[in-house]
Homo-oligomer: A and B are copies of this chain.
Amino acid sequence: MPKSNEIEARWWGWGDINKTYEVEKRPTYVPFIEEKLDVEVEHVRTPDPDMSELELRESRLQSDAIDALKKIVGEDNVSTTRRDRVMHAIGRSYRDCLLARMGQIKHPPDAVIFPGSEDEVVELLKLAEDRSLAVTPFCGGSSVVGGVEPLDIEGFAGTLSVDLRRMDKVLRVDVESRTARIQAGIWGPELEDELAKFKVYLGHAPESFLYSGLGGWIASRGAGRQSTSYGKIEEMIESVRIVTPRGVIETRDVPASATGPDLDRIFCGSEGTLGIITEATMKVHPLPQAYDYRGQLFKTFEGGVQAVREILQHGLFPETIRISDDEESSMAMRVRRPSSNPTKEQAMQSALKGLSRLGWSFETGAFAILGCEGKKVDVAVRMKRMQAICRKNGAMPLGKGAGMEWFETRYDNPYLRDIMFGWGVMTDTLETATTWDNIMPLYHAVKKSIRGALADYDSRSMVTCHLSHSYVTGSSLYFIFLGKIARGREIEQWEHVKRTAGDTILANGGTITHHHGVGYEHAPWFEREYGPQGMELLRGMKKALDPAGIMNPGKLLP
């Protein structure tokens, strides 16, 4: 089986070119979108853009620079091919995909480098500093905030994308201490496969899991689907190793320390601006014996939110807990793939009708996923207690079928975005976090702001939200919004929505990002959230480790 990074990837959209979202098998979705957004979907699939038609700036590197790079990493590991440069030119934000479809790949790296060892990374940064080349670290390239785009910044002779995929080993597993030493370039599926050989696993599964890797997760301070129990990536780090232009920093493999400001937490979230993370020791868990994912339907979103808060504050930490609001719940029902067994499907539909008469509806209620993993007994005990709390807050259990349906399709949504582009429908996501007392006010404010911003461009809209990644003191809120693309003003429209939503989040007590990161798309709000003194601090750190400023310029710091 090929590795996950050996697939042929879509250069203008998500994932594997041979995979897609089977929208044809979901008959209620297209009419739903047409009605809600006032669009006409003429062709369910539009032809893919052609890479050979792209106008691409030539590599600015002279042959002596290429030779010097090859001397460090070997002949085969310096690439200036069109495909490699395009694949490393953008991440996978709405803006990225929009520009790619419009043929505007503005910042292809001048070369893509594939180092095979940390020593090579050290040499690469020396060379880059000597020759004024900007360096953007690259792991899976799935950033949705512009984190991997090698921006053209004045003063640099060229840009390098340093792709870590060759540094992809699990170096050591310490089963007794439940830690694993892992190279940063390994992607999700191979990472868990390797760990599984030792009967342990990491449990970090963001939506990008199939096409992203350890270094990127750490650099962008991400969160996986099971973060409610396993924590965000920063909580999984035992120690880290990073190559900076001033040398290597390695923290100690210790469970906790009081030695000054926590270096692990400084590099986590540094987004390649201080150096290239090459290895980390991560906390791992025993491979779960049991998985239990179940659907629940709350009468109201508020009821679901209340249930999640109670579950967390009772000290129950489900691996996954996710409550969709009414708009997301109704969309989930419309995008559903009906059962291939018509009798079964009919039974389900009439059950839903019955439920609806009793007050539980996907149109007005909140569909929830509750997921537990681990030892059988523990999973059973937690699930029972959580279901009781859900019931108390107005939930109707929908059983394991609904849970597994979600589980099995949990990495598919980004493919749907690509299809909807062809329909003239914009889909983007944004996320924040706040304390419990502020969840509902922030929720309403953000939804309203996005709706208004899309209306400004004469678009009807769907703005859905779910609560996920929850904590004792608060939770993340995740928004997905759909609108009609404003032809000829595509970027302007997106910028308007993004700006409106970002301003609303900050004005209403949220953080500009709970797990997507900053990159350059969130940089303006990051600066406001961090504050002028925070930015000074960041500049001070950068000056200390990267005085020439070669590391991922234009990210985090404007």
Contact = CB atoms under 8 A, between A and B. Distances in A.
Contact of A515 (B249, B258, B261): B258
A518 B260 contact: yes
Contacts of A260: 221, 269-271, 518, 526, 530, 538, 556
Contacts of A436: 176-178
Given A255-B471, A260-B526, A545 B533 contact: yes
Contacts of A538: 260-261
Contact of A254 (B234, B256, B433, B536): B433
Contacts of A544: 536-537, 539-541
Contact of A259 (B174, B518, B532): B518
Given A179-B435, A541-B540, A526 B259 contact: yes
B537 A545 contact: yes
Contact of A256 (B178, B255, B262, B476): B476
A58 interface: no
Contact of A531 (B174, B249, B265, B438): B249
A266 B552 CA distance: 22
Contacts of A176: 309, 436-437
A288 interface: no
A543 to B, nearest CB: 5
Contacts of A473: 177-179, 238, 255, 283
Nearest to A175: B437
A383 to B, nearest CB: 15
Contacts of A250: 531
A336 B221 CA distance: 49
B433 A313 contact: no
Interface stretch (A24-32, A95-103, A153-161, A504-512): A504-512
Interface string A210-233: 000000000011110000000010
Interface in A506-558: 509-518, 522, 526, 529-534, 536-545, 556
Contact of A545 (B309, B469, B536): B536
Protomer copies: 2
Interface string A237-270: 0100000101111101111111111110111111
Contacts of A517: 258
Contacts of A545: 533, 536-537, 540
A529 B178 contact: no
Contacts of A265: 261-262, 265-266
Nearest to A145: B258
A474 to B, nearest CB: 4
A22 interface: no
A211 to B, nearest CB: 19
A516 B522 CA distance: 38
Contact of A472 (B283, B434, B514, B533): B283
Nearest to A220: B258
A458 interface: no
A313 B286 CA distance: 9
Contacts of A220: 258
Contacts of A518: 258-260
Nearest to A232: B256
A558 to B, nearest CB: 12
A243 B156 CA distance: 37
A315 interface: yes
Q: Which 7 A-B pairs have the closest CB atoms?
A: A540-B544, A255-B474, A255-B471, A177-B435, A265-B265, A221-B258, A257-B511
6 contacts: A254-B435, A254-B514, A256-B469, A257-B514, A258-B511, A261-B268
